[in-house]
Amino acid sequence: MKRILAFALLFVMCIGVFAMTGCDRQQASAQPPVGENPGEQGTQGEVQTDEQGNTQQPTPQPVAYDVPSVGYDGSEVTITFSHTMNATYQGVLDKYIAKFNELYPNITVEHAQVGGYDEVRDQIKTELTAGNQPNIAYCYPDHVALYNVAKAVVPLNSFIDSTIEVTDAQGNKTVLGLTAEQIADFIPGYYAEGAVFDNAGTMYTMPMSKSTEVLYYNKTFFDANGLTVPTTWDEMKALCKKILEIDPDCIPLGYDSEANWFITMCEQYGSPYTSAQRGKYFLFNNDQNKAFVKEFRSWYEAGYLTTQELYGGYTSGLFTELTDKNSYMSIGSTGGSMHQRPEATDDGYAFEVGIAPIPQVNPDAPKAISQGPSLCIFESDNKQEVVASWLFVKFLTTDPAFQAEFSMTSGYMPVIKSVENVPAYKNFLDNADGGEHIQALAVKVGREMSNMYFVSPAFNGSSVARDKVGVLMQYCFVTPADDVDAMIDKAFKDAIVECNNAQ
Amino acid sequence: MAKQMKVLTEKDLQQVTVQQKIFKVLSQIALYTFLIVMAIIVIFPFYWMIISSLKSLAEYRLSIPTLFPKEIMWGNYLQAFQKAELLKLFKNTIIVGVVSTILSLVITIITAFAFARLEFKGKNLLFSMLLGTMMIPGELFTITNFTTITEFGWYKNPNWFEGYAVLIVPFLVSVFYIYLLKQNFMQIPNELYLAAKVDGTSDFKYLCKVMIPLSLPTLISITILKMMGSWNSYVWPRLVAHKDYYLITNGLRSAFTDAGSGEADIPVQMAAVTIVSIPLFLVFIFLRKYIMKGVSRSGIKG
Amino acid sequence: MVDSKHQWKAWLYLLPAIILLLIFTVWPIFNTVRMAFTVYWDAEAPAGFDEDGMQLCDENGNPLWGKYQGYTISKDLGNKKLADDDPAKVKFEFGLDNFIHVLTYDGFWTIMKNTVILCVLTVPLSTFLALLIAVCLNAIKPLQRVLQTIFFLPYVTNSIAIGMVFAAMFNIVGVNTTDVAASTSVGIVNTVLMVFGLDPINWINQGSTYWANIAVMVIYIVWNALPFKILILLGGLQSVNKQYYDAAKIDSTPKWRVFTRITVPLLSPMIAYVVITGFIGGFKEYTSIVGIFGEKMQPPGAAVGVPVLQTMVGYIYDNLGNAEGVASAAALLLFVLIFAVTLVNLGVSKKKTHY
Tell me, what CATH number does C244's domain have? 1.10.3720.10
pLDDT digits (tens, 9 = 90+) for A262-303: 999 999 999 999 887 766 788 899 999 999 999 999 999 888
Last residue of a domain, one of C95, C125, C151: C95
* pLDDT bucket at C290, cuts 50 / 70 / 90: confident
Contact B133 C186 (CB under 8 A): no
Give every strand in the sheet of A374-377, ordered side by side: A107-113, A77-83, A136-139, A374-377, A205-207
Percentage above 70 pLDDT, chain A? 87
Question: pLDDT band for position C40 (50/70/90)?
Answer: low
Query: C95, C130, C159 — which closes off a domain?
Result: C95
A370, containing H or E segment? strand A368-371
- The whole-number pLDDT of residue C82 equals 44
Contacts of A138 in chain B (CB under 8 A): none
| Cβ–Cβ < 8 Å for C27, B144 | yes
pLDDT score at A236: 95
* pLDDT score for B105: 93
Query: Quick one: pLDDT at residue B132?
Result: 80
CA–CA dist C214, C208 (Å, integer): 10
Domains contained in chain C, number: 2
Tens digits of residue pLDDT in A327-340: 899 999 998 888 88
Of the two residues A265 and C203, the one the predictor is more confident about is A265
Domain covering A77-210+372-421 in this structure, CATH number: 3.40.190.10
C-contacting residues in B 196-215 (Cβ below 8 Å):
203
| Beta carbons of B147 and A130 less than 8 Å apart | yes
Q: Which residue has the higher pLDDT, A344 or A419?
A: A419
pLDDT reported for residue A80: 93
Residue (of A262, A275, A264, A192) closest to A462 by Cα position:
A275
CA distance B263 to A503: 29
Domain shared by C151 and C63, yes or no = no
> pLDDT tens, B72-83?
778 888 877 776
Instruction: Specify the CATH class of B78-297 in words.
Output: mainly alpha
For A282, nearest residue in chain C (alpha carbons): C58
- Indicate the average pLDDT of chain A: 84
Q: Name every chain C residue with its beta carbon within 8 A of the beta carbon of A44.
A: 44-45
The answer to whether residues C172 and C202 touch, using CB atoms and an 8 Å cutoff, is: yes
- The confidence score (pLDDT) of residue C54 equals 41
- Would C245 be classed as within a structural domain? yes
Say whether pLDDT at A205 is over 90: yes
Q: Which residues of B touch C345 (CB under 8 A)?
A: 302
- Residues of A within 8 A of C173 (CB-CB) are 311-313, 324
Angle formed by the axes of helices C264-283 and C108-139, nearest 10°: 150
C32/B140 Cβ within 8 A: yes
Could you tell me if A388 and A77 are in contact, meaning their C-beta atoms sit under 8 angstroms apart? yes
pTM of the model: 0.78
Same domain, C234 and C257: yes
Q: Which chains does chain C touch, 3 or more C-beta pairs < 8 A? A: A, B
* Local structure of residue A350 (DSSP, 8 states): S
Contact yes or no for A85 and B260 at CB 8 A: no
Shared-domain flag, residues C153 and C202:
yes
A3 and chain B in contact, CB less than 8 A:
yes
Instruction: Quote the CA–CA distance of B140 and B150 in Å, as a whole number.
Output: 17
Question: What H or E segment, with its residue span, contains residue A368?
Answer: strand A368-371
Angle in degrees, CA B133, B137, B140, rounded to 5: 100
Cα torsion angle, A476, A481, A485, A491, sign: negative
**pLDDT exceeds 70 at position C4:** no
Chain C residues lying within 8 Å of A28, measured CB to CB: 34, 38, 40, 92
Cα–Cα–Cα angle for B156, B162, B163, rounded to 5 degrees: 75
Q: Which residues, numbered 118 to 137 in chain A, qualify as contacts with chain C under a Cβ-Cβ cut-off of 8 Å?
A: 125
The residues pairing with B228 across neighbouring beta strands, listed in sequence order, are none
**Interface membership of B121 toward A (CB under 8 Å):** no
Sequence-distant (6+) residues with CB within 8 A of B142 are: A126, B235, B236, B239
Q: What is the pLDDT of residue C179?
A: 58
Pick the closest to residue C105 from A498, B225, A308, A102 (CA basis). Answer: A498
Q: What are phi and psi of A331, to 5 degrees?
A: -105, 120
Do the beta carbons of residue B261 and residue A339 sit within 8 Å? Answer: yes
Cα dihedral: A405, A409, A414, A420 (round 10): 50
Domain boundaries, chain A: 77-210+372-421, 211-370+441-502
Whether the per-residue pLDDT at C55 is higher than 50: the answer is no
Please report which helix (H) or strand (E) contains residue A253, including its range.
strand A253-255
Backbone angles phi, psi at A332, to 5 degrees: -155, 180
All residues of chain A having their beta carbon less than 8 Å from the beta carbon of residue B156 are: 132
Instruction: Estimate the share of chain A in helix, then strand, then coil, as percent rounded to the nearest 5.
Output: 45, 15, 40
- Do A473 and A292 touch, CB atoms closer than 8 A? no
Contacts of B79 in chain A (CB under 8 A): none
Q: Is A78 near chain B, with CB under 8 Å?
A: yes
- Do C89 and C162 lie in one domain? The reply is no
Q: What are the pLDDT digits (tens) for A125-135?
A: 888 877 889 99
Greater confidence, A184 or C270?
A184
Tell me which chain A residue has its CA closest to the CA of residue B143. A126
Contacts of A among chains (3+ CB pairs under 8 A)? B, C
State the pLDDT at residue C1: 42
A77-210+372-421 matches A211-370+441-502 in fold = yes
Torsional sign, CA A457, A458, A460, A463:
positive
Distance from CA of A138 to the nearest CA of B (A): 12
pLDDT at A54: 44
Instruction: Tell whether A29 lies on the interface with B, counting CB pairs under 8 A.
Output: no
pLDDT band at C180 (very low <50, low <70, confident <90, very high): low
Same-domain check for residues C37 and C175:
no
CATH architecture type of domain A211-370+441-502: 3-Layer(aba) Sandwich (3.40)
Residue A166 distance to chain C (closest CA, Å): 35
Higher pLDDT residue, C207 or A234? A234
Of A482-496, B125-139, C238-252, which gets the smallest average pLDDT?
A: C238-252
Name the residue among A132, A317, A410 with its Cβ closest to that of B259: A410
Residue ranges making up the domain that contains C264 = 108-352
> What is the dihedral angle through the alpha carbons of B113, B119, B124, B125, rounded to the nearest 10 degrees?
-110
Q: How many helices (H) and strands (E) does chain A have?
A: 21, 16
- How many CA atoms, within 13 angstroms, populate the side-chain half-sphere of residue A331? 26
- For residue C87, pLDDT over 70 is answered with no
Q: Chain A to chain B, count of Cβ pairs less than 8 Å apart?
A: 97
Tens-binned pLDDT, residue by residue, of chain B (302 aa): 444 555 556 666 677 778 888 888 888 888 888 888 888 888 887 887 788 888 877 676 665 667 777 777 788 888 777 766 777 888 888 899 889 999 999 999 999 999 888 888 888 888 888 888 877 777 678 778 888 888 888 877 778 888 888 889 988 888 888 888 887 788 778 787 888 878 888 888 888 888 888 888 778 778 877 877 777 777 788 778 877 788 877 776 665 555 444 455 677 777 877 877 777 778 777 877 776 665 555 544 33
Higher pLDDT, C42 or A107: A107
pLDDT in tens, A380-413: 989 999 999 999 999 999 999 999 999 998 889 9
Q: Is the ipTM of this complex over 0.85?
A: no
3 state SS of A344: strand
Maximal C-alpha separation, chain A:
84
Which pLDDT does position C78 carry in this prediction? Answer: 42
CA angle A161, A164, A170 (to 5 degrees): 120
* pLDDT confidence bin for C91, thresholds 50/70/90: low
- What integer pLDDT is reported at residue A22 of this predicted model? 36
Q: Are C273 and B183 in contact (CB under 8 A)?
A: no
Instruction: Please name every residue paired with A376 in a beta bridge, in sequence order, or none if there are none.
Output: A137, A205
- Residues in A closer than 8 angstroms to B155, CB to CB, are 130, 132
Task: Kindly report the number of other CB atoms within 10 A of residue A125's CB atom.
Answer: 21
The reported pLDDT for the residue numbered C322 is: 64
User: Which residues in A lie closer than 8 A to residue C52 (C-beta atoms)?
Assistant: 50, 54
Higher pLDDT, B85 or C190: C190
User: What was the pLDDT predicted at A260?
Assistant: 92
How far apart are the C-alpha atoms of B183 and B297, rounded to whole Å? 9
Helices C159-170, B10-52: crossing angle, 10 deg rounding? 100
Q: Judge: A129–B143 Cβ closer than 8 Å, yes or no.
A: yes
* pLDDT of B51: 83
Q: Return the closest-CA partner of residue A136 out of A189, A208, A196, A88.
A: A208
The mean-pLDDT minimum among A101-115, A220-234, C141-155 falls in C141-155
Examine residue C101 and state whether it is found in any structural domain, yes or no. Answer: no
Instruction: Say if residue C237's pLDDT is above 50.
Output: yes
What pLDDT does A233 receive? 96
Closest-CA distance of chain C to residue A352, Å? 24
Least confident stretch, A59-73, C76-90, C308-322: C76-90
Which range is most confident: A455-464, B194-203, C289-298, C324-333? C324-333
**pLDDT tens for each residue of A41-52:** 333 333 333 444
Any idea where the domains of chain B sit in the sequence? 2-52, 78-297
What single-letter amino acid sits at C253?
T
Is residue C116 pLDDT above 70, yes or no?
yes
Higher pLDDT, A433 or A199: A433
Same domain for C243 and C165: yes
Q: Helix B216-232 crosses helix B248-255 at what angle (to 10 degrees)?
A: 30
Residues C309, C195: one domain?
Answer: yes
Q: Return d(Cα A495, Cα A498) in angstroms, integer.
A: 5
Mean pLDDT, residues A400-429: 93
Q: Do residues C187 and C267 both lie within one domain?
A: yes
| B204 vs C122: which has the higher pLDDT | C122
State yes or no: pLDDT of A9 exceeds 60: no
